[in-house]
Structure 1
Amino acid sequence: MKSITLLFSLFITSTLFAQSPWTKEKGDLFLNISYTTISDYNEIFGDPDYFANGKITDNTYQIYSEYGLSDKTTFIASIPLKSISVDNFVYIDPAINCAGDCSELLNFNKTAFGNISLGIKHQFYNKGWVISGQFVTQFNTSTLDAKSGIRTGYNAYTFTPQLLVGKSFGKTFFQSHIGVDVRTNDYSNNFKIGGEFGGKVLKNIWLIGFVDVVESFDDGNRINDNPLNGLYQNDQEYGAYGLKAILQLCDLGVTASFANAFSGNNVPKQSAFSIGIFNTF
Protein backbone atom coordinates (compact mmCIF):
# COMPACT_ATOMS: atom_id res chain seq x y z
CA MET A 1 0.00 0.00 0.00
CA LYS A 2 2.93 2.32 0.67
CA SER A 3 4.09 2.07 -2.96
CA ILE A 4 0.55 2.84 -4.18
CA THR A 5 0.36 5.91 -1.93
CA LEU A 6 3.78 7.02 -3.15
CA LEU A 7 2.76 6.63 -6.76
CA PHE A 8 -0.29 8.83 -6.36
CA SER A 9 1.87 11.66 -5.03
CA LEU A 10 3.97 11.84 -8.18
CA PHE A 11 4.45 14.01 -11.18
CA ILE A 12 4.01 17.74 -11.12
CA THR A 13 3.84 19.95 -14.22
CA SER A 14 4.89 23.66 -14.44
CA THR A 15 1.46 25.03 -13.48
CA LEU A 16 -0.32 22.09 -11.57
CA PHE A 17 -0.16 20.30 -8.26
CA ALA A 18 -0.68 16.55 -8.13
CA GLN A 19 -4.42 15.93 -8.07
CA SER A 20 -4.25 12.82 -5.89
CA PRO A 21 -6.76 12.14 -3.07
CA TRP A 22 -4.24 9.94 -1.24
CA THR A 23 -2.50 11.59 1.73
CA LYS A 24 0.90 10.89 3.27
CA GLU A 25 1.33 8.94 6.47
CA LYS A 26 2.12 11.04 9.53
CA GLY A 27 5.75 12.19 9.49
CA ASP A 28 6.46 11.06 5.91
CA LEU A 29 8.09 13.58 3.57
CA PHE A 30 7.75 13.25 -0.21
CA LEU A 31 10.07 15.35 -2.40
CA ASN A 32 9.98 15.71 -6.18
CA ILE A 33 12.40 17.79 -8.28
CA SER A 34 11.31 18.25 -11.88
CA TYR A 35 12.14 20.03 -15.12
CA THR A 36 9.44 21.00 -17.64
CA THR A 37 9.96 22.63 -21.03
CA ILE A 38 7.70 24.11 -23.71
CA SER A 39 10.28 24.82 -26.34
CA ASP A 40 10.61 27.06 -29.36
CA TYR A 41 6.98 27.96 -30.01
CA ASN A 42 5.38 30.97 -31.66
CA GLU A 43 1.79 29.87 -32.34
CA ILE A 44 -0.82 30.38 -29.63
CA PHE A 45 -4.41 29.18 -29.24
CA GLY A 46 -6.99 31.96 -29.52
CA ASP A 47 -10.14 33.03 -31.34
CA PRO A 48 -8.62 33.03 -33.91
CA ASP A 49 -5.20 31.50 -33.21
CA TYR A 50 -2.35 34.01 -33.36
CA PHE A 51 1.45 34.21 -33.49
CA ALA A 52 3.77 35.36 -30.72
CA ASN A 53 6.29 38.15 -31.11
CA GLY A 54 9.36 35.94 -31.53
CA LYS A 55 10.16 32.33 -30.65
CA ILE A 56 9.49 31.45 -27.00
CA THR A 57 10.97 28.73 -24.80
CA ASP A 58 9.41 28.31 -21.35
CA ASN A 59 11.42 26.21 -18.86
CA THR A 60 10.42 25.41 -15.27
CA TYR A 61 12.61 23.93 -12.53
CA GLN A 62 10.38 22.95 -9.63
CA ILE A 63 10.64 21.57 -6.12
CA TYR A 64 7.40 19.98 -4.89
CA SER A 65 6.91 18.44 -1.47
CA GLU A 66 4.25 16.77 0.65
CA TYR A 67 4.49 16.21 4.40
CA GLY A 68 2.13 14.14 6.53
CA LEU A 69 0.84 16.28 9.38
CA SER A 70 -1.34 13.30 10.28
CA ASP A 71 -2.44 10.16 8.44
CA LYS A 72 -5.35 12.13 6.95
CA THR A 73 -3.88 15.63 6.56
CA THR A 74 -0.97 16.53 4.28
CA PHE A 75 0.87 19.83 3.90
CA ILE A 76 1.91 20.59 0.29
CA ALA A 77 4.35 23.15 -1.13
CA SER A 78 5.74 24.03 -4.55
CA ILE A 79 8.60 26.36 -5.51
CA PRO A 80 8.95 26.93 -9.30
CA LEU A 81 11.94 28.67 -10.86
CA LYS A 82 11.14 29.92 -14.36
CA SER A 83 13.64 30.45 -17.16
CA ILE A 84 11.93 32.00 -20.19
CA SER A 85 13.62 33.13 -23.39
CA VAL A 86 12.28 34.99 -26.42
CA ASP A 87 14.36 34.98 -29.62
CA ASN A 88 13.90 37.23 -32.65
CA PHE A 89 11.66 39.61 -30.72
CA VAL A 90 10.64 42.52 -32.96
CA TYR A 91 11.37 45.60 -30.86
CA ILE A 92 10.51 49.20 -31.73
CA ASP A 93 11.95 51.76 -29.31
CA PRO A 94 9.08 54.13 -28.41
CA ALA A 95 11.59 56.91 -27.71
CA ILE A 96 12.81 56.98 -31.32
CA ASN A 97 10.96 58.77 -34.09
CA CYS A 98 11.94 57.46 -37.49
CA ALA A 99 10.58 57.11 -40.97
CA GLY A 100 9.99 53.63 -42.37
CA ASP A 101 10.91 50.46 -40.48
CA CYS A 102 13.05 51.22 -37.41
CA SER A 103 12.49 47.89 -35.66
CA GLU A 104 15.26 45.54 -34.55
CA LEU A 105 15.37 41.85 -33.64
CA LEU A 106 16.38 41.21 -30.03
CA ASN A 107 16.79 38.15 -27.80
CA PHE A 108 15.61 38.17 -24.19
CA ASN A 109 15.95 35.80 -21.25
CA LYS A 110 14.42 36.06 -17.79
CA THR A 111 15.06 33.73 -14.84
CA ALA A 112 12.98 34.31 -11.71
CA PHE A 113 10.53 32.64 -9.36
CA GLY A 114 7.07 31.76 -10.58
CA ASN A 115 4.05 31.53 -8.27
CA ILE A 116 5.15 29.81 -5.05
CA SER A 117 2.33 27.65 -3.65
CA LEU A 118 1.32 26.31 -0.24
CA GLY A 119 -1.67 24.15 0.59
CA ILE A 120 -3.43 21.55 2.70
CA LYS A 121 -5.01 18.25 1.64
CA HIS A 122 -7.39 16.40 3.96
CA GLN A 123 -8.86 12.95 3.46
CA PHE A 124 -12.56 12.67 4.34
CA TYR A 125 -13.33 9.09 3.26
CA ASN A 126 -11.31 5.95 2.57
CA LYS A 127 -13.39 2.80 2.11
CA GLY A 128 -12.64 1.50 -1.36
CA TRP A 129 -13.03 4.94 -2.88
CA VAL A 130 -10.90 7.76 -1.45
CA ILE A 131 -12.37 11.28 -1.17
CA SER A 132 -10.30 14.30 -0.14
CA GLY A 133 -10.46 18.07 -0.19
CA GLN A 134 -7.54 20.30 -1.09
CA PHE A 135 -6.98 24.03 -0.73
CA VAL A 136 -3.93 25.66 -2.34
CA THR A 137 -2.79 29.28 -2.34
CA GLN A 138 -0.49 30.53 -5.08
CA PHE A 139 1.36 33.66 -4.02
CA ASN A 140 2.08 36.68 -6.19
CA THR A 141 5.81 36.00 -6.44
CA SER A 142 6.24 36.34 -10.22
CA THR A 143 8.31 38.87 -12.15
CA LEU A 144 7.65 40.95 -15.29
CA ASP A 145 10.26 42.11 -17.79
CA ALA A 146 8.54 45.19 -19.19
CA LYS A 147 10.64 45.46 -22.36
CA SER A 148 9.97 41.95 -23.65
CA GLY A 149 6.66 41.27 -21.88
CA ILE A 150 8.08 38.10 -20.28
CA ARG A 151 6.10 37.22 -17.15
CA THR A 152 7.14 34.32 -14.93
CA GLY A 153 3.74 33.75 -13.29
CA TYR A 154 0.33 35.28 -12.68
CA ASN A 155 0.42 38.82 -11.26
CA ALA A 156 -2.14 37.74 -8.67
CA TYR A 157 -2.91 35.54 -5.70
CA THR A 158 -4.75 32.36 -6.68
CA PHE A 159 -6.94 30.35 -4.30
CA THR A 160 -7.79 26.82 -5.48
CA PRO A 161 -10.29 24.63 -3.59
CA GLN A 162 -10.73 21.16 -5.11
CA LEU A 163 -12.53 17.89 -4.52
CA LEU A 164 -10.34 14.84 -5.20
CA VAL A 165 -11.64 11.30 -5.77
CA GLY A 166 -9.74 8.08 -6.48
CA LYS A 167 -9.71 4.30 -6.26
CA SER A 168 -7.03 1.63 -6.46
CA PHE A 169 -7.74 -1.62 -8.32
CA GLY A 170 -4.55 -3.44 -7.38
CA LYS A 171 -2.19 -2.83 -10.29
CA THR A 172 -4.37 -0.07 -11.78
CA PHE A 173 -5.94 3.08 -10.41
CA PHE A 174 -8.27 5.95 -11.26
CA GLN A 175 -8.32 9.46 -9.84
CA SER A 176 -10.10 12.71 -10.71
CA HIS A 177 -10.40 16.29 -9.51
CA ILE A 178 -12.84 19.17 -9.81
CA GLY A 179 -12.46 22.72 -8.52
CA VAL A 180 -11.96 26.39 -9.27
CA ASP A 181 -9.12 28.93 -9.46
CA VAL A 182 -10.12 32.21 -7.79
CA ARG A 183 -7.67 34.96 -8.79
CA THR A 184 -7.17 38.53 -7.60
CA ASN A 185 -6.02 41.61 -9.54
CA ASP A 186 -8.84 41.53 -12.15
CA TYR A 187 -7.91 38.12 -13.58
CA SER A 188 -10.83 35.91 -14.58
CA ASN A 189 -11.63 32.93 -12.38
CA ASN A 190 -11.44 29.36 -13.77
CA PHE A 191 -13.33 26.10 -13.56
CA LYS A 192 -11.12 23.01 -13.70
CA ILE A 193 -11.76 19.29 -14.02
CA GLY A 194 -9.66 16.29 -14.97
CA GLY A 195 -8.84 12.67 -14.43
CA GLU A 196 -6.24 10.02 -14.99
CA PHE A 197 -6.06 6.27 -15.28
CA GLY A 198 -2.97 4.12 -15.13
CA GLY A 199 -1.40 0.88 -14.14
CA LYS A 200 1.77 -1.12 -13.61
CA VAL A 201 2.95 -2.50 -16.97
CA LEU A 202 6.25 -3.99 -15.73
CA LYS A 203 7.67 -4.75 -12.30
CA ASN A 204 8.84 -1.18 -11.64
CA ILE A 205 7.17 0.82 -14.44
CA TRP A 206 3.81 2.59 -14.43
CA LEU A 207 2.05 4.21 -17.40
CA ILE A 208 -0.66 6.81 -16.79
CA GLY A 209 -2.91 8.65 -19.23
CA PHE A 210 -4.62 11.88 -18.22
CA VAL A 211 -7.01 14.59 -19.39
CA ASP A 212 -7.22 18.11 -17.90
CA VAL A 213 -9.68 20.88 -18.76
CA VAL A 214 -9.57 24.50 -17.57
CA GLU A 215 -12.36 26.90 -18.61
CA SER A 216 -12.36 30.62 -17.87
CA PHE A 217 -15.47 32.26 -16.42
CA ASP A 218 -14.54 35.40 -18.46
CA ASP A 219 -15.40 37.54 -15.44
CA GLY A 220 -12.14 39.52 -15.18
CA ASN A 221 -11.24 42.88 -16.71
CA ARG A 222 -7.46 42.61 -16.63
CA ILE A 223 -5.54 44.08 -19.58
CA ASN A 224 -2.69 41.77 -20.58
CA ASP A 225 0.88 43.07 -20.25
CA ASN A 226 1.89 41.65 -23.62
CA PRO A 227 -0.92 39.91 -25.50
CA LEU A 228 1.49 38.50 -28.09
CA ASN A 229 3.37 35.98 -25.96
CA GLY A 230 0.71 33.88 -24.18
CA LEU A 231 2.59 33.99 -20.86
CA TYR A 232 0.20 34.02 -17.88
CA GLN A 233 -2.41 36.12 -19.63
CA ASN A 234 -5.99 36.69 -18.56
CA ASP A 235 -8.68 34.21 -19.66
CA GLN A 236 -6.27 31.34 -20.24
CA GLU A 237 -8.03 28.03 -20.81
CA TYR A 238 -7.28 24.66 -22.36
CA GLY A 239 -8.26 21.07 -22.90
CA ALA A 240 -5.18 18.85 -22.65
CA TYR A 241 -4.21 15.20 -22.70
CA GLY A 242 -0.97 13.41 -22.00
CA LEU A 243 0.95 10.37 -20.87
CA LYS A 244 3.19 9.83 -17.83
CA ALA A 245 5.76 7.09 -17.21
CA ILE A 246 7.16 6.32 -13.76
CA LEU A 247 10.16 4.14 -12.92
CA GLN A 248 9.78 3.26 -9.24
CA LEU A 249 12.77 1.86 -7.30
CA CYS A 250 11.60 1.51 -3.68
CA ASP A 251 11.27 5.07 -2.33
CA LEU A 252 13.36 6.52 -5.16
CA GLY A 253 12.08 6.95 -8.68
CA VAL A 254 12.11 8.82 -11.98
CA THR A 255 9.22 10.34 -13.91
CA ALA A 256 8.78 11.46 -17.52
CA SER A 257 5.76 12.79 -19.42
CA PHE A 258 4.37 14.82 -22.25
CA ALA A 259 1.19 16.91 -22.43
CA ASN A 260 -0.51 18.47 -25.43
CA ALA A 261 -3.52 20.79 -25.75
CA PHE A 262 -6.31 19.91 -28.18
CA SER A 263 -8.01 23.29 -27.62
CA GLY A 264 -7.31 26.46 -25.70
CA ASN A 265 -7.10 30.22 -25.37
CA ASN A 266 -3.92 32.22 -24.72
CA VAL A 267 -1.83 29.05 -24.33
CA PRO A 268 0.92 27.66 -26.61
CA LYS A 269 0.16 25.32 -29.49
CA GLN A 270 3.13 23.22 -28.42
CA SER A 271 3.67 20.09 -26.34
CA ALA A 272 5.17 20.21 -22.84
CA PHE A 273 7.79 17.64 -21.81
CA SER A 274 8.82 16.89 -18.21
CA ILE A 275 11.30 14.76 -16.31
CA GLY A 276 11.72 14.44 -12.56
CA ILE A 277 13.22 12.53 -9.68
CA PHE A 278 11.50 11.79 -6.38
CA ASN A 279 12.08 10.23 -2.99
CA THR A 280 10.17 9.61 0.24
CA PHE A 281 11.84 10.12 3.60
Structure 2
Amino acid sequence: MKNLKFFQILALVFVVQEASGQSGWTKTKGEGFFQTSFYTFNSKDYFTLDGERLVTNRFHQQSIVFYGEYGVTDKFTIIANLPLQNFNGFETTETVSGLGDLRLEFKHSLLKKYFPLAISVAPEIPTGKANNFANSTVNDFERINLPSGDGEFNVWTTLATSFALGDFPFYGSLFGSYNYRTQYDGISFSDQVAVGVELGYKIADKVWFNVRMNGLTSVDEITEVTDFVRGDGTEYTSYTLGLSAPVYKEFHLSLTYRNFNDFLFDRKNIYSGGVFGIGIFYNLKPPTK
Protein backbone atom coordinates (compact mmCIF):
# COMPACT_ATOMS: atom_id res chain seq x y z
CA MET A 1 0.00 0.00 0.00
CA LYS A 2 1.46 3.33 -1.01
CA ASN A 3 1.98 6.04 1.61
CA LEU A 4 -0.65 8.78 1.77
CA LYS A 5 2.00 11.46 1.30
CA PHE A 6 2.34 10.26 -2.28
CA PHE A 7 -1.22 11.36 -2.99
CA GLN A 8 -0.58 14.93 -1.94
CA ILE A 9 0.70 15.64 -5.46
CA LEU A 10 -2.04 13.76 -7.29
CA ALA A 11 -4.95 15.35 -9.08
CA LEU A 12 -8.51 15.47 -7.94
CA VAL A 13 -10.45 15.23 -11.20
CA PHE A 14 -14.23 15.38 -11.15
CA VAL A 15 -14.66 12.39 -13.42
CA VAL A 16 -18.29 11.86 -12.51
CA GLN A 17 -19.35 15.32 -13.63
CA GLU A 18 -19.56 15.19 -17.38
CA ALA A 19 -21.69 18.02 -18.75
CA SER A 20 -24.79 16.83 -20.58
CA GLY A 21 -24.36 16.33 -24.30
CA GLN A 22 -24.15 19.57 -26.25
CA SER A 23 -26.54 20.07 -29.17
CA GLY A 24 -27.48 22.61 -31.82
CA TRP A 25 -31.04 22.86 -30.52
CA THR A 26 -32.46 25.36 -28.06
CA LYS A 27 -35.67 24.97 -26.09
CA THR A 28 -38.80 26.72 -27.29
CA LYS A 29 -40.18 29.51 -25.10
CA GLY A 30 -41.50 28.07 -21.84
CA GLU A 31 -40.11 24.58 -22.49
CA GLY A 32 -37.89 23.00 -19.84
CA PHE A 33 -35.84 19.97 -18.85
CA PHE A 34 -34.90 19.31 -15.20
CA GLN A 35 -32.87 16.35 -13.94
CA THR A 36 -31.40 15.17 -10.65
CA SER A 37 -28.80 12.40 -10.88
CA PHE A 38 -26.52 10.31 -8.70
CA TYR A 39 -23.11 9.23 -10.03
CA THR A 40 -20.60 6.84 -8.47
CA PHE A 41 -17.01 6.02 -9.38
CA ASN A 42 -13.98 4.29 -7.90
CA SER A 43 -10.58 3.36 -9.29
CA LYS A 44 -7.00 2.43 -8.43
CA ASP A 45 -5.70 3.39 -11.90
CA TYR A 46 -4.14 6.85 -11.97
CA PHE A 47 -2.54 8.21 -15.17
CA THR A 48 0.29 10.70 -14.64
CA LEU A 49 1.14 13.79 -16.71
CA ASP A 50 3.38 11.50 -18.80
CA GLY A 51 0.50 9.09 -19.40
CA GLU A 52 2.05 6.44 -17.16
CA ARG A 53 -0.45 4.20 -15.34
CA LEU A 54 0.07 3.90 -11.60
CA VAL A 55 -1.81 1.59 -9.22
CA THR A 56 -2.63 3.54 -6.05
CA ASN A 57 -4.89 3.34 -3.04
CA ARG A 58 -8.46 3.17 -4.30
CA PHE A 59 -10.03 6.57 -4.90
CA HIS A 60 -13.81 6.93 -4.79
CA GLN A 61 -16.07 9.78 -5.84
CA GLN A 62 -19.85 10.22 -5.76
CA SER A 63 -22.00 13.18 -6.76
CA ILE A 64 -25.59 14.32 -6.59
CA VAL A 65 -26.09 16.71 -9.51
CA PHE A 66 -28.90 19.01 -10.61
CA TYR A 67 -29.13 19.89 -14.30
CA GLY A 68 -31.76 22.12 -15.87
CA GLU A 69 -32.62 23.85 -19.15
CA TYR A 70 -35.29 26.50 -19.72
CA GLY A 71 -36.31 28.28 -22.90
CA VAL A 72 -36.51 32.03 -22.31
CA THR A 73 -37.34 32.56 -25.97
CA ASP A 74 -37.45 30.19 -28.94
CA LYS A 75 -33.80 31.01 -29.61
CA PHE A 76 -32.38 31.58 -26.12
CA THR A 77 -31.99 28.93 -23.43
CA ILE A 78 -30.54 29.16 -19.92
CA ILE A 79 -28.81 26.03 -18.56
CA ALA A 80 -27.66 25.30 -15.01
CA ASN A 81 -25.42 22.46 -13.84
CA LEU A 82 -24.82 22.27 -10.08
CA PRO A 83 -23.30 19.39 -8.10
CA LEU A 84 -25.43 19.58 -4.95
CA GLN A 85 -22.91 17.42 -3.12
CA ASN A 86 -19.56 15.89 -4.05
CA PHE A 87 -18.15 13.06 -1.93
CA ASN A 88 -14.43 12.25 -2.24
CA GLY A 89 -12.04 9.92 -0.47
CA PHE A 90 -9.37 7.24 -0.67
CA GLU A 91 -9.56 3.83 0.96
CA THR A 92 -6.97 5.14 3.45
CA THR A 93 -8.81 8.39 4.28
CA GLU A 94 -12.12 9.58 5.55
CA THR A 95 -14.70 10.77 3.00
CA VAL A 96 -15.24 14.52 2.75
CA SER A 97 -18.03 16.31 0.91
CA GLY A 98 -19.32 19.70 -0.15
CA LEU A 99 -21.20 21.73 -2.73
CA GLY A 100 -19.65 21.73 -6.20
CA ASP A 101 -19.01 24.54 -8.70
CA LEU A 102 -22.02 26.10 -10.42
CA ARG A 103 -21.97 26.20 -14.21
CA LEU A 104 -24.42 28.63 -15.85
CA GLU A 105 -24.79 28.37 -19.61
CA PHE A 106 -26.37 30.95 -21.91
CA LYS A 107 -27.23 29.37 -25.25
CA HIS A 108 -28.32 31.17 -28.42
CA SER A 109 -29.59 29.58 -31.63
CA LEU A 110 -27.76 30.79 -34.76
CA LEU A 111 -29.69 28.51 -37.13
CA LYS A 112 -32.73 26.57 -36.01
CA LYS A 113 -34.87 25.01 -38.72
CA TYR A 114 -32.85 23.22 -41.43
CA PHE A 115 -29.36 23.17 -39.91
CA PRO A 116 -29.57 23.55 -36.10
CA LEU A 117 -26.54 25.48 -34.91
CA ALA A 118 -26.07 27.11 -31.50
CA ILE A 119 -23.40 28.95 -29.57
CA SER A 120 -23.20 29.07 -25.79
CA VAL A 121 -21.14 30.81 -23.14
CA ALA A 122 -20.91 29.10 -19.74
CA PRO A 123 -19.14 30.71 -16.79
CA GLU A 124 -18.23 28.24 -14.07
CA ILE A 125 -18.49 29.89 -10.69
CA PRO A 126 -16.29 28.55 -7.84
CA THR A 127 -19.10 27.88 -5.35
CA GLY A 128 -17.50 24.64 -4.11
CA LYS A 129 -14.97 24.12 -1.33
CA ALA A 130 -11.55 24.83 -2.82
CA ASN A 131 -9.87 23.29 0.21
CA ASN A 132 -11.47 20.31 1.93
CA PHE A 133 -9.02 18.16 3.83
CA ALA A 134 -9.57 14.47 4.53
CA ASN A 135 -7.68 12.91 7.42
CA SER A 136 -5.81 9.66 7.00
CA THR A 137 -7.31 6.60 8.66
CA VAL A 138 -3.83 5.04 8.79
CA ASN A 139 -1.69 7.85 10.21
CA ASP A 140 -3.58 10.48 12.19
CA PHE A 141 -0.92 13.12 11.44
CA GLU A 142 -1.48 12.95 7.66
CA ARG A 143 -4.21 14.48 5.52
CA ILE A 144 -4.96 15.25 1.86
CA ASN A 145 -6.88 18.04 0.16
CA LEU A 146 -9.96 16.66 -1.67
CA PRO A 147 -11.87 19.80 -2.67
CA SER A 148 -15.47 19.71 -3.89
CA GLY A 149 -14.69 22.53 -6.37
CA ASP A 150 -11.52 23.74 -8.07
CA GLY A 151 -11.62 27.28 -6.61
CA GLU A 152 -11.14 28.83 -10.04
CA PHE A 153 -13.39 30.96 -12.26
CA ASN A 154 -13.43 29.74 -15.86
CA VAL A 155 -15.60 30.18 -18.96
CA TRP A 156 -16.62 27.55 -21.52
CA THR A 157 -17.55 28.67 -25.07
CA THR A 158 -19.24 26.01 -27.20
CA LEU A 159 -20.36 25.73 -30.83
CA ALA A 160 -22.70 22.80 -31.50
CA THR A 161 -24.71 21.45 -34.41
CA SER A 162 -27.33 18.69 -34.63
CA PHE A 163 -29.55 16.83 -37.05
CA ALA A 164 -32.68 14.68 -36.92
CA LEU A 165 -34.08 12.37 -39.59
CA GLY A 166 -37.64 13.66 -39.84
CA ASP A 167 -40.09 11.10 -38.46
CA PHE A 168 -37.34 8.49 -38.07
CA PRO A 169 -36.35 8.41 -34.37
CA PHE A 170 -32.64 9.09 -34.83
CA TYR A 171 -30.49 12.15 -34.08
CA GLY A 172 -26.88 13.23 -33.97
CA SER A 173 -24.89 16.10 -32.48
CA LEU A 174 -21.35 17.41 -32.82
CA PHE A 175 -19.65 20.10 -30.73
CA GLY A 176 -16.39 21.85 -29.94
CA SER A 177 -15.64 23.84 -26.77
CA TYR A 178 -12.92 26.14 -25.47
CA ASN A 179 -12.40 26.51 -21.72
CA TYR A 180 -10.76 29.79 -20.70
CA ARG A 181 -9.18 29.07 -17.31
CA THR A 182 -7.82 31.59 -14.84
CA GLN A 183 -6.01 30.89 -11.57
CA TYR A 184 -6.35 29.87 -7.96
CA ASP A 185 -4.17 31.10 -5.12
CA GLY A 186 -1.69 32.70 -7.54
CA ILE A 187 -1.29 29.58 -9.73
CA SER A 188 -2.45 29.91 -13.36
CA PHE A 189 -3.94 27.00 -15.30
CA SER A 190 -3.81 25.99 -18.95
CA ASP A 191 -6.86 26.57 -21.15
CA GLN A 192 -8.58 23.45 -22.50
CA VAL A 193 -10.26 22.25 -25.69
CA ALA A 194 -13.13 19.74 -25.69
CA VAL A 195 -14.81 17.95 -28.59
CA GLY A 196 -17.68 15.51 -28.70
CA VAL A 197 -20.16 13.57 -30.79
CA GLU A 198 -23.47 11.96 -29.78
CA LEU A 199 -25.89 9.64 -31.57
CA GLY A 200 -29.32 8.60 -30.34
CA TYR A 201 -32.09 6.22 -31.40
CA LYS A 202 -35.57 5.61 -29.96
CA ILE A 203 -36.34 1.92 -29.46
CA ALA A 204 -39.94 0.70 -29.86
CA ASP A 205 -41.09 4.33 -29.79
CA LYS A 206 -40.45 4.40 -26.04
CA VAL A 207 -36.86 4.00 -24.86
CA TRP A 208 -34.11 6.37 -25.99
CA PHE A 209 -30.63 4.88 -26.37
CA ASN A 210 -27.64 7.15 -26.95
CA VAL A 211 -23.89 6.81 -27.28
CA ARG A 212 -21.48 9.67 -26.77
CA MET A 213 -17.74 10.19 -27.19
CA ASN A 214 -15.97 13.18 -25.63
CA GLY A 215 -12.36 14.30 -25.65
CA LEU A 216 -10.51 16.86 -23.51
CA THR A 217 -6.99 18.21 -24.02
CA SER A 218 -4.91 21.07 -22.65
CA VAL A 219 -3.82 23.98 -24.83
CA ASP A 220 -0.42 24.17 -23.12
CA GLU A 221 1.84 21.22 -22.50
CA ILE A 222 1.99 20.67 -18.75
CA THR A 223 5.17 18.88 -17.79
CA GLU A 224 5.81 20.01 -14.22
CA VAL A 225 3.93 19.73 -10.95
CA THR A 226 1.99 22.94 -10.30
CA ASP A 227 -1.31 22.37 -8.50
CA PHE A 228 -2.60 19.03 -9.78
CA VAL A 229 -5.46 19.04 -7.33
CA ARG A 230 -7.15 21.58 -9.67
CA GLY A 231 -6.97 19.29 -12.71
CA ASP A 232 -4.26 21.21 -14.59
CA GLY A 233 -2.95 19.13 -17.51
CA THR A 234 -5.86 16.69 -17.44
CA GLU A 235 -6.54 14.97 -20.78
CA TYR A 236 -8.73 12.02 -21.76
CA THR A 237 -11.16 10.40 -24.15
CA SER A 238 -14.43 9.16 -22.67
CA TYR A 239 -17.37 7.22 -24.00
CA THR A 240 -20.87 7.16 -22.51
CA LEU A 241 -23.81 4.81 -23.03
CA GLY A 242 -27.24 5.98 -21.93
CA LEU A 243 -30.85 4.81 -21.69
CA SER A 244 -33.95 6.76 -20.76
CA ALA A 245 -37.58 5.72 -20.47
CA PRO A 246 -40.84 7.27 -19.23
CA VAL A 247 -42.03 6.22 -15.77
CA TYR A 248 -44.98 8.55 -15.06
CA LYS A 249 -46.41 11.25 -17.33
CA GLU A 250 -43.50 13.63 -18.08
CA PHE A 251 -41.13 11.99 -15.57
CA HIS A 252 -38.41 9.74 -17.01
CA LEU A 253 -35.71 7.45 -15.64
CA SER A 254 -32.17 7.68 -17.04
CA LEU A 255 -29.24 5.26 -16.72
CA THR A 256 -25.68 5.98 -17.88
CA TYR A 257 -22.32 4.25 -17.98
CA ARG A 258 -19.13 6.18 -18.74
CA ASN A 259 -15.51 5.05 -19.08
CA PHE A 260 -12.19 6.30 -20.45
CA ASN A 261 -9.66 5.34 -23.12
CA ASP A 262 -6.93 6.89 -25.30
CA PHE A 263 -8.80 7.02 -28.63
CA LEU A 264 -8.70 10.81 -29.21
CA PHE A 265 -6.44 12.03 -26.40
CA ASP A 266 -4.27 9.91 -24.12
CA ARG A 267 -5.26 9.80 -20.47
CA LYS A 268 -3.20 12.17 -18.34
CA ASN A 269 -3.63 13.42 -14.79
CA ILE A 270 -6.81 11.42 -14.20
CA TYR A 271 -8.19 8.39 -12.41
CA SER A 272 -9.69 6.03 -14.99
CA GLY A 273 -12.58 3.66 -14.44
CA GLY A 274 -16.29 3.13 -14.90
CA VAL A 275 -18.79 5.79 -13.84
CA PHE A 276 -22.37 4.67 -13.19
CA GLY A 277 -25.26 7.12 -13.09
CA ILE A 278 -28.99 7.03 -12.38
CA GLY A 279 -31.35 9.98 -12.60
CA ILE A 280 -34.90 11.23 -12.82
CA PHE A 281 -35.81 14.00 -15.23
CA TYR A 282 -38.94 15.99 -15.98
CA ASN A 283 -39.90 17.51 -19.32
CA LEU A 284 -41.75 20.81 -18.94
CA LYS A 285 -43.98 21.40 -21.92
CA PRO A 286 -44.34 24.93 -23.30
CA PRO A 287 -47.70 26.64 -22.68
CA THR A 288 -50.25 26.08 -25.42
CA LYS A 289 -50.84 29.06 -27.65
| The two structures share one fold, judged by TM-score above 0.5 | yes
For 1:280 and 1:246, the matched residues in 2 are separated by: 12
Amino acid at match of 2:65: Q
1: CA distance, partners of 2:181 / 2:151: 9
Distance 1:217 1:120 in 2: 24
Q: 1:214 aligns with which of 210, 213, 216?
A: 216
Whole-angstrom distance in 2 between the partners of 1:222 and 1:21: 38
Amino acid paired to 1:159: V
Name the aligned partner's letter for residue 241 of structure 1: Y
Amino acid at match of 2:100: G
Q: Distance in 1 between matches of 2:68 and 2:127?
A: 18
**One-letter amino acid matched to 2:211:** G
> In terms of mean alpha carbon deviation, does 76-85 or 43-52 score higher?
43-52
State how far apart, in whole Å, the 1-side matches of 2:259 and 2:47 are.
12
Report if the CA contact (8 A) 1:36-1:60 is conserved.
Answer: yes
Code of the residue aligned with 2:210 in structure 1: it is: I
User: Is residue 81 of structure 2 the alignment partner of residue 127 of structure 1?
Assistant: no
Q: Given the superposition, is the C-alpha separation of residues 221 and 48 from structure 1 closer, same or farther in structure 2, using an over 3 Å criterion?
A: closer
Alignment match, 2:146: 150
Alignment counterpart, residue 275 of structure 1, candidates 264, 275, 278: 278
Higher relative CO (Cα under 8 Å, sequence separation at least 6) belongs to 2
Please say if 1:87 is aligned against 2:91.
Answer: yes
Q: Size of the alignment, in residue pairs? A: 246
Letter paired with 2:90: V
Letter in 1 for 2:80: A
Matches within 5 A, 1:102-251: 107-143=93-129, 144-146=131-133, 147-169=143-165, 170-185=168-183, 186-218=188-220, 223-225=225-227, 227=228, 232-248=230-246, 250-251=249-250
What is the deviation of 1:20? Answer: 2.0
Q: Specify every segment of 5 or more residues in structure 1 that has no aligned partner in the other structure, as ranges.
A: 1-12, 89-106
Partner SS state of residue 15, structure 1: coil
| C-alpha separation in 1, matches of 2:39 and 2:274 | 10
Which residue of 1 is the match for residue 254 of structure 2? 255
Q: CA deviation at 1:221?
A: 9.3
Moved over 4 A (4+): 219-225
TM-score when normalising by structure 2: 0.79
Q: Distance between the aligned counterparts of 1:15 and 1:187, measured in 2? A: 20
Distance 2:55 2:283 in 1: 41
Mind listing any 5+ residue stretches in structure 2 that lack a counterpart? 1-15, 134-142, 285-289
Identical aligned pairs, as a percentage?
A: 21
1:27 and 2:30 are equivalent in the alignment: yes
Give the superposition deviation at 1:198.
Answer: 1.4
Please give the TM-score of this superposition, normalised by the length of structure 1: 0.81
Write the deviation string for residues 60-93 of structure 1: whole angstroms up to 9, x where unpaired: 10011111110110011111020112212xxxxx
1:153 and 1:52 map into 2 onto residues whose CA distance is 25
Alpha-carbon RMSD: 2.0
Whichever residue aligns with residue 82 of structure 1, its letter is: N
Asked whether the equivalents of residues 27 and 75 of structure 2 are also in contact (C-alpha less than 8 Å), the reply is yes
